Every structure is written in C-alpha cells, then in structure tokens.
Structure 1
Amino acid sequence: MSPLITPPSPPVHHCVAVLIAAPASGQGKTTITAALARWHARQGRRVRVFKCGPDYLDPYWHQLASGATVHNLDGWMVGMDEVRARLHAAAAQADVILIEGVMGLFDGSPTAADLATQLGVPVLLVVDASAMAGSFGALVLGMQQYQPGVPWAGVLANRVATGMHTQMLQSSLRDPQLWLGGLQRMGPGKDAQLLPERHLGLVAAHELPDAMARLNAAADALADTPLGRMDWQDWQRWSVAFEAPAQPVAAPQPWLRGRTVAVASDAAFSFIYPANLDCLQAMGANLAFFSPLAGERLPVCDAVWLPGGYPELHAATLAANTGLQADLQQHVQAGKPVWAECGGMLALGQRMTDAQDQSQPLWGILPGEARMQERLAGLGMQQCALQGGVLRGHTFHYSRFTCQAAEVARTSRPRQPVAPDKGEAIYQHGSVHASYFHAWFPSHPRAVAALLGAEPVQWDTAAQP
C-alpha cells in the first residue's frame, strides 16, 4: 500500500498588521489610519492600507499617505477568498498592513470584528474621548468583552483636551497594557477635524491642495503618543501569518477582449474601485479615461462606464460640456452600451434640483429628474441577479431620481428576496442601463461584461439571490 501523501500547506507570509476600528462612525479612525500610514512611510517602510466595506473616499487619503493602491475588504461583497488573496499578496511585499474598519467594530454583517477574528489581525480601537473621563474605561472594557476571540492591539483616545484629561482616560482602563496614547484635537474648536467632510463622507484627498500637509500634521501628532514612540521591534508583536486562500480566485474569461471601455474619471465621477478597473482589464478590455469636467469629448469606444461621484457639485460645468453630451447621444443612438451608476445616472438625466430648490438642466439622455435632499435616501449592501449569477455591491445616496425609463430589474439586500418596494431600480433606456446600485465587478464579471455589451443582458427576475 502506498504511503499517504500529505499535500503541502498553503504558503504563508508574515507581516505586521493592525485593524483600526472604533465604537461608531465619526470617531476619527480614518485620520488615525492615514496618520499611521504616513508615519510608517516617512520612516521608509513599505505600507499597504486596506479599507473594510464599501468606500471610495477614505482610500484616497490612505493612498496618498502610503503611496500604494488601496483595496476594499469585505466578507460578503468582496468574498473571503479574495480578501485572503489580497492580504496574502500584500504581506509578501509590505512591512506593515493597516486595515481601516467600517462604522463601529461590531456593525454590519459580517463585521470588522469578524474579519479581525478570522484573519488573526489585532484591533487598534480609536475612541473619541472629547466628552469622556472615567466612562472611557467602561466603554473599552465593554468593547473588549462583547465578542470573545477578537485579538486586541490596544486603544487610542482621540480628540483629547489636555494632559490632565489624557491621564484621566489612561487611569480609567482596567488593563493598562491596552493604552497606546491620547491624541489631542487638531485645530481650534470642539468639532475640529483635520480631514473635512461633506455628504457621502470625507472630501477626497485629491481635491485639497494641502492634503499632504494635513497628513504630515496628523503623523507628527501621532509621533508624540506612546504608539508613535514604539520602535520597530515593538511593532513585531503584531505580526500576523497571512495564508493564501484554500481556493485560488479564478480569473475571469476574456469577455471584453478587443473592446474599448470609456471610463469617466474626475471629481464628478470618482467613485471607482481599483478592483473594478482590474476586473475590466482582466476581461481583456482597453480602458480609455476621460474627464467631463475638463471639457473632454467621448473617446472612441465600444462601451461607456459612468461611475458615481459628485455631479451635483459640478452640474453647471457638466451641462456646459455640450460636445460630450452630443457624443453620448450619438453613442446611444448607435446602440452602444452605457452602464451608469448613481451619480453617473443623475448626469444622464434631464434635470437636477439641489436642496435649495435651484434647478440645472443636464445631458437629457435618460428621461428622468434628480432631486437632492438633506436626508439619506439609500444605504447598505445590495445585489442583483443576472447572467446566471449574483452581482454584488452597495447603495449610498442623498438624492431621489424620478425616471420614466423601463424598470427591468431591482436589487435586494444580501440573502433576501427581491421586493417591489425595496432595493434600487435598474432602468433601461435603449442601450443605457442605469441605477443607484454601485457594483463590485469581480463578484460577477460576466454580468458586468453583459452590461458593457459583450452579450445580451439576461435579468433573472424570478431569482431569490
């Protein structure tokens, strides 16, 4: 009888890694993550940053701070096989991996805590302590004990007022070993923020001329904490073994080989996952980027992708690009496909009205009108069934779009059936498909290829994804 042959174990790469999380949104974890990335990069270390969950804006700051492309991680939208593959590859090249959590540590499904537990990455908890004293210790203790098995690196108090305040916070901890320091407010005023916000999230780094100066200021402040004074040997206690996924992520078929996809890319259309671009290229697409805000015309192409962004902030400039408007009209009249997501869909509409009731005509290719509002109109993970599978993604918008185009499908929440009063409508008008739905292309490449004209789109309206 032949001896039993044990297959080789998956290769493992070791790398220092921490997951920066918080009890809730708005605690300052993006600032701390970017500051850490900049602090390490200034010392000559190779830094890779990842962002949990669907997010386009925070990664711009992390990319500027680290000098490397930032990818998203999520157990559902991205899938754990791809999560493990990306971290395994990063660990082979980086000195330190930083992962920014999403919302609060235990928010969502799966949570950032679940990700930290599955990967063995210790959690650095960031807490806005501006209105706390002894309760700081109680909050940290509760976070620590809420879910057994979560690995911990420590806690950093953010927006601390004075040295005495810092001492009060530190002394409130039941476990003194968790203390990694207090970071004072960066700027005047109670609500001062180094990284400015607006609706949908942070202002992107490329929109601020002093973005790097802001990051350096944050890194300087961090350097004056116990965390910032740790030497590299101390960081090694947070070394993590990253294994390759048990099942390698399959490469998509070349459904878009020989086809050119024009991609709008500027401050009005900036919600682009790098993984989506990678997916298009892996399917053989040639990518032609153009800037509607810069007055550029539509490149010679077979299909157009209009990503989300902030068309509402640039509506007059977009409307003034009548050359591009004519190009898009000709493109659609020729039966060539357009996939428009969220802001891309609004730009194709007839009109946009802002929250102050000021109206602006737009490109008029879709029979619909957008109205901005103060309240959030859509938020959360979404999916839609087509081409024999499920395309995953999310929705996040502060506008309403009233459209007379045919509604050919509707998205649903993860693991829930399609409901007529929930999810996001997917409209078809000629060769245009448009929705508030932001798609994660690698989750179902064939579906994306179909939306971009590689084959007829087949909506599975009876599916219960």
Structure 2
Amino acid sequence: MTSCAALFISAPSSGSGKTCVTAAIARSNVRRGKRVRVFKTGPDFLDPSILERASGAPVYQLDLFMGGFQHCQALLAEAAREADLILVEGVMGLFDGKPSSADLAAAFGLPVVCVIDASAMAQTFAALATGLARFRPELHHCGVIANRVGSPAHGRMVGEGLPDDLPLIAALPREPRLILPERHLGLVQALEQPELDAQLDAWADTWEAGLRPGFDFKPLDLRDAIEPPPARLLAGRRIAIARDAAFGFIYPANVDLLRALGAELAFFSPLRHEPLPDCDAAWLPGGYPELHAETLGAHSTLAESLTRHINANRPLLAECGGMLALLDELTDAAGDAHRMAGLMPGRAHVQHRLAALGLQAMDWPEGPLRGHSYHYSTLETPLAPIARATNPNGGKTAEVLYQRGSLRASYVHHYFPSNPEAVAAFFGS
C-alpha cells in the first residue's frame, strides 16, 4: 500500500466552478513546494490543459468505462508514489452519468468535497450540501466549498446549518476577473491564454484567503498496482502526430502507450506550416480546425504529403477535428466555407448547437476500442461506414468509422489504452 493525501472535487452540476477550484488548490500547493498530481474524471481535453498548467504535471483521465478499474488503479498508484497530493476533478454533477463521478470516488475510497455555487442562495446551501453528502452513504464527504459568495457575511450565512461532519472548508468570492474564457467546446485551451499563469496565481490567492482554519488533506491508502508493459509491437515504427492549437485534443495516456509499444513519435504543427515528418504512420487528433481553417488551407505541402502518405499505404488516423481537416470543405460557425485537404470526400458544417455527445464503444477491424464523442459539426460524405459505435448510456450518439485506403477517420476520440493490441495492429500495418 502507498499512502498519499487526496481529494476528489465534485459539484451538484456543471458550471459550479470545479475546474477553477481544483486549479486553485493545485497552484496553491505547488507554490508551497508540494508535488501535486491532478486527474480529470471522464473524457475531457480542455479542463486538463488548465489543470496541467496549474500543477506543472500532465493530467490523465480516470474513466471506468474507457480505461477500466485496473488501469485507473495503476494511474492512481503511480501518482501516489511520486506526489504529495492527488487531486481528482469530477465531471458534470456528482451522480450524473454512468459511470459517474460518485462511482469513481467510491471505487477508490477518494474523499469527496462538493463545490456549490452559492451566489443565489443562503441557508438552502446547507440543505443541498447535506443532501449530496447523504445520497450515497458509502461515499466519504470531508466537507463542502461555497463558491461565488457575495460577501464575508454571505459566506458565513451559507455555512449555517451544516452538520458537524460536513464542515465548510472554504468560502470563495464571486470575482469576474477570475472567470475563464469559453467557446463552443468548453474552456479556451491553456496554450491560447497568455495571462493564464497570472490568473492561476490569483485563484490560489483567493483559495488561501477563503480557506477556513483547521482543514487538512486526508491521507489515502492505495494499492501498489502496476500495469504490465505491453509488448513492443511498434518497435522501429515512427509515428507523426499533429499537435498545436488546431490539433490539441490528445490524451497523455495515448502518447504514453504509443511509446510503450516501442514507437518513435514525431510531433509537428500544421498551423506553423511545418511539413509532415518522415514517418511510417500518422495521427491527426481532434481540436479546432474550424478556428484556423484559413491558415490550414494555406499550408503549401500538407495535403500533398498526406496524399503521398496514403498512396504509400501508410496508416493515417484522423479523429474529429483531424477528420474535418481532411475533407473537401469545412464551413465554420460564421457561415464561411474553407477549402480543406481534400483527402476524404465530403463537407462539414459547424453549427451553434451541440451535434453529438457521449461515451462510445466501437469495433475496429483489429478489435474493440473505447472513447468518446463531442462536437458541434455535422458531416456529409459519400463514404460508407465500416463500423458503428454504441453508447453505454443508451444515448443517441453512435458515431461511425470511415476508411479510405489506409486512412481511417471518425468523430470518436479513441482512448488507446482500452485496446493496446488493436492500436498497435493499425499503426503497425
């Protein structure tokens, strides 16, 4: 067993301020010389980019569907061996989804604190907090955080009526300068926020000022779980990966797995008009090609080099935004049409409302993979799908998988550790 202080930060709903509070706690402890590891519950790329900057360490997903219990257990155990504090940010509300944040916290005995937006309530705060804490008795709630309080007096008021075993840990003021910028897929990526570090320090200051005396992180005993390394099925293979503001939706666990499989990775930036590196396979992950369509369209060699790559029968995986960048045409949310790489027949349109959202399980020709889908665009293509995903929660989102020669494309963001052998078989083909 390995012992490490830990805290699971959840909330009654999205928009309560989980990410800001988690980042504030992380930055505060890093400034005090603590080694902090942060995890994000469920599929997400944007919150982790903020949390990585706050903690100074990569942020991995803990997802019982995409990764499974043993994978999550190994990630937590590894963090416990090298950190002084583990923070886990939940997803949506505490009990929302299957599996939920509560399911994850219960699976590993993580102490839970709920962040509640107190801006429009007073004594009802205690009733809501108590209800969250009592709904599933097997969860260990160590306190509650009042966010967006209007004054010190308001902060004291919301704490009235809380039971002794559910203390008010902190009361944090409502300050517009602390609000993170957002766009249609969520928070703006960390690399696009030049003032982010100053904002993180301001959050840490606010956390330290609002923290009530007597709170301390509780140690958590975690089993010394280690995932056996995969066979080096990609030894000698070089995989090119697009990575910049247009193609930034990359799970750190995916990169780790490719390296563990023996692959050499070569990152490049299409936005900076960097050429496709010499490679045996390539991966265009998701991101925001619609925000950079004009720049991508002006890349002098990308379409040509990717065409040569496919004509040489070398594998190319394009996920969500990566797929949109390969189409004939992409129309952004303003209605402006942009010519794209033209490697995949069809066109897409970015709309103002959500088009798809949900966990996904898909059978590749090489084996089953898991992941998720989240996009605002719709796609028209004459290509016939070779597979269709299922949604474990029964939602209507069921993405398809397209293949054209050695190109494989889908709206799904795949979680490679869900089937290392299948990933190796594709990239090694």
- With the shorter chain as reference, the TM-score category is over 0.9
> After the TM superposition, which residues 50-65 of structure 1 pair with which residues of structure 2 at under 5 Å, given as runs?
50-65=39-54
Q: Which residue of 2 aligns with 1:450?
A: 425
State how far apart, in whole Å, the 2-side matches of 1:374 and 1:451 are. 34
Cα deviation, residue 450, structure 1:
2.9
1:38 positional shift: 0.2
In 1, Cα distance between equivalents of 2:84 and 2:253: 22
Q: Identity over the aligned pairs, expressed in percent?
A: 49
Question: Are 2:261 and 1:276 aligned?
Answer: no
Q: d(CA) in 2 for partners of 1:415 and 1:197? A: 27
What is the deviation of 1:92?
1.3
- Residue 219 of structure 2: aligned partner: 239
In structure 2, what is the equivalent of residue 255 of structure 1? Answer: 233
Quote how far apart the aligned CAs of 1:111 are.
Answer: 1.4
> Structure 1 residues 423-432 or 34-43, which shifts more?
423-432
Structure 1 contact 387–446 (Cα < 8 Å) conserved: no
Matched-pair contact (CA < 8 Å) for 1:338–1:451: no
The structure 1 residue matched to 2:209, chosen from 224, 228, 234, is: 224
User: For structure 2, which runs of at least 5 residues remain unmatched after alignment?
Assistant: none
Q: 2-side partners of 1:341 and 1:82: how far apart?
A: 23
Shift of residue 224 of structure 1? 0.7
Query: Partner of 1:207 in structure 2?
Result: 192
Give the letter for the 1:235 counterpart: D
Q: Give the TM-score of the pair, scaled to structure 2.
A: 0.96
Q: Provide the rounded CA distance (Å) in 2 between the counterparts of 1:319 and 1:386.
A: 30
Aligned partners of 2:165 and 2:219: how far apart in 1?
A: 21
Q: Please list the CA deviations of residues 382-403 of structure 1 after superposition, one character each: whole Å capped at 9, or x if unmatched.
A: 0112356421111000000111
Change (3 A) 1:141 1:149: same
Offset at 1:76?
Answer: 1.4
**Which residue identity lines up with residue 42 of structure 1 in the other structure?**
R
Aligned residue-pair number:
429
C-alpha displacement of 1:415: 8.2
Following superposition, the deviation at residue 423 of structure 1 comes to 0.8
Q: Spell out, residue by residue over 1:281-338, the C-alpha distance to the aligned partner (whole angstroms, 9 max, x if none).
A: 1111110100000010100001110000000110000000021111111111222111
Matched, 1:292 2:245: no
In the alignment, what sits opposite 1:342? 320
Contact kept in structure 2, 1:433 and 1:451, CA below 8 Å: no
Cα distance in structure 1, aligned partners of 2:306 and 2:155: 58
What amino acid sits opposite 2:128 in the alignment?
A: L
| Aligned-CA RMSD value | 1.7
- 1:116 deviation in Å? 1.3
After superposition, the Cα gap between the structure-2 partners of 1:212 and 1:422, relative to the gap in structure 1 and judged at 3 Å, is closer
Determine the structure 1 residue equivalent to 2:286: 308
Q: Deviations over 1:311-369 (max 9, x none)?
A: 01100000000211111111112221110000000000011112232111111110010
Q: Which moved more, 1:349-358 or 1:248-257?
A: 248-257
- Pairing 1:35–2:24 present: yes
The alignment's TM-score, normalised by the length of structure 1, stands at 0.89
Tell me: CA distance 1:126–1:415, structure 2 relative to 1, closer, same or farther (3 Å).
closer
Q: 1:168 to 1:176 in 2, by over 3 A?
A: farther
| Equivalent residue, structure 2, for 1:440 | 415
Rg larger in structure: 1
Structure 2 Cα separation of the partners of residues 208 and 147 of structure 1: 39
Separation of aligned partners in 2, 1:85 and 1:94? 14
1:461 alignment counterpart: none
Cross-structure match for 1:430 = 405
Distance 2:409 2:420 in 1: 17
Distance 1:124 1:115 in 2: 14
Alpha-carbon distance, 1:253 to partner:
2.1
In structure 2, C-alpha distance between the alignment counterparts of 1:212 and 1:315, rounded to whole Å: 28
1:78/1:443 contact within 8 Å kept: yes
Please give the secondary structure, in 2, of the residue aligned with 1:16: strand
> Against the structure 1 CA distance between its residues 415 and 249, is the aligned structure 2 distance closer, same or farther, given a 3 Å change threshold?
farther
Provide the C-alpha distance between the structure 2 equivalents of 1:198 and 1:49, rounded to a whole number of angstroms. Answer: 23
Residue 56 of structure 1 contacts residue 273 of structure 1 at CA under 8 Å; is this kept in 2? yes
Greater mean alpha carbon deviation, residues 290-299 or residues 88-97: 88-97
Match of residue 392, structure 1, among 366, 370, 373: 370
In structure 2, the CA distance between the partners of 1:386 and 1:362, relative to structure 1 (3 Å rule), is closer
Displacement, 1:250?
A: 3.3
> Where does the alignment leave 5 or more consecutive residues of structure 1 unmatched?
1-11, 456-465
CA contact (8 A) 2:356 2:397 kept: no
Residue 255 of structure 1, CA deviation? 2.0
Counterparts of 2:144 and 2:328, CA distance in 1: 50
